[in-house]
Chains A and B, each alone.
Chain A
């Protein structure tokens, strides 16, 4: 046995547990799900004759296709808003807060992570309700004469999501910002760049890996979330996870739920492909 062969065997030995884990808990279940997505429901029986019927229904049935559109609209809105809010917050923490207070500032920023996701969503339901703090405050300061409906709308869903994902993005962007050498800004200043030009042409591009990593995580977690739209959206439109839950919990239509899940995974894969060149975690 050659030395090279021995090294390969050893390398495979190190990788094998991860491979076995991935096969057992991702690849095989995914293959089963993909196969099931080609079956279909007749009455209450799952018929094992395989075709693309479920996929055709997803893309031709308006209420099914709309769930893809709704999910994408909400997810893209949430991702953009979260980035726009998180970047300045992370920048302030990284550059304006004294170093020994930064840990406290980050802890305060992620404090809401410590509460249950469901509880947080219900708390938003109460806050955004007609008799909630937001509405009463707006009426109190004279901005509104009577309550408007925010709860049970897409706006409420977006607010609930953005609150959560701003924290996540702040962490990824902050960890990127504190690794930047101050010499970049000094060099830009020496070359005559204004503060804004330095931010726009030096700092911002250098934090793109952190932004894109956080944005990708936001996209994946947001598009697959069931709780927030269910609690805050008032069932007034269906996202893909809600539609999947309807197939599972009410119809017992496992093939259609599988097909929707495969489509959801395909969307996430496309999002990964679009952002892959920035997703180098070691740079964050």
Chain B
């Protein structure tokens, strides 16, 4: 009897060990991502189709992402989501692997966001654009004068003092302030950035808070603020059903267009699976899921996702106005390492004002 029990126990233990082993044996893909990639609804179809587990780690800002790579062992990371304007920087540092271009057909992408000048080097593709949107002015239409929202300068008029939140990301905000002062993002050098100091301080003076994505959404949703400078569809889309008054516009000075690209890391030991992941993310299904990810919504780079997204979703994303928006927006500033640090120093000074 005792022997039977022991045998049964050993049998169960073996079964558990085998099942655990099979779990461990499954491939894993490690991805450095932005928060929209952490949505299980995005990852699950890929995980099931390939019997793999996708481990994601969120980061904010390219410098932080590259610092994480510096602190990691070679091969720890397979995939990286990176700001579209920073792909060149990562290529220069030898971080990214060449992609099989023939497996990534960008023919159905919005032409303005394919950005071969950023994603390719000497004819070699290193990254693919996956999503894009705008940093502009977001507001509660029931609480503001809509005419004012056509000009960024109205935020300094005193009319909205204490009702403004500043999106806490120095690159788009300094880009926007540059546009408000008539400086194109590509012309933002050290002197031009320093010239924005007083304007930035004045904006801080008028603002209620400087907030990240979640805090900006909360402040807008609870009526704590009526305007978020630096916001866009990614801020309001998830709140649109709850409060249709939350809106955004591209003012006459223009706004910034952000893009995010996805790439395979050069030191990945799992490149084939990483390529498969990028193929999934840039497929119509992956794009539709990414566009409506729980963290933030934004336009998919691949227009074919429009076949999968519902009319309501496309309306929230303002699918039909994209041609106009794309023509009136500029890419982020692309600072070198020193200018980047100078911009961050200015931002820290502003926060501490």
Contact = CB atoms under 8 A, between A and B. Distances in A.
Contact of A125 (B66, B218, B337, B338): B218
A243 B344 CA distance: 12
B193 to A, nearest CB: 16
A213 to B, nearest CB: 33
Given A44-B337, A152-B208, A250-B344, A131 B63 contact: no
Interface stretch (A18-26, A59-67, A82-90): A59-67
B67 A252 contact: yes
Contacts of A132: 222
Contacts of A251: 63-64, 341, 344
A249 B64 contact: yes
Interface stretch (A175-183, A204-212, A233-241, A273-281): A233-241
Given A237-B352, A238-B348, A251-B344, A44 B209 contact: no
A152 B209 contact: yes
Interface string B160-190: 0010000010000000000000000000000
Contacts of A125: 218
B162 A44 contact: no
B87 to A, nearest CB: 16
Contacts, number: 81
B222 A129 contact: yes
Interface string B214-234: 010011001110000000000
Interface string A5-49: 000000000000000000000000000000000000101100000
B348 A63 contact: yes
Contact of B61 (A130, A151, A234, A249): A249
Interface residues of A, number: 31
Contact of A250 (B60, B223, B338): B60
Nearest to A252: B67
A234 B210 CA distance: 6
A261 to B, nearest CB: 16
A143 to B, nearest CB: 20
Nearest to A236: B209
The 7 closest A-B pairs by CB, nearest first: A252-B67, A234-B209, A43-B337, A63-B352, A235-B210, A152-B209, A252-B63
11 contacts: A44-B63, A44-B337, A63-B348, A130-B224, A234-B210, A235-B168, A236-B351, A246-B344, A249-B61, A252-B63, A254-B67
Interface of A: 41, 43-44, 62-63, 66-67, 122, 125-126, 129-132, 149, 151-152, 231, 234-238, 243, 246, 248-252, 254
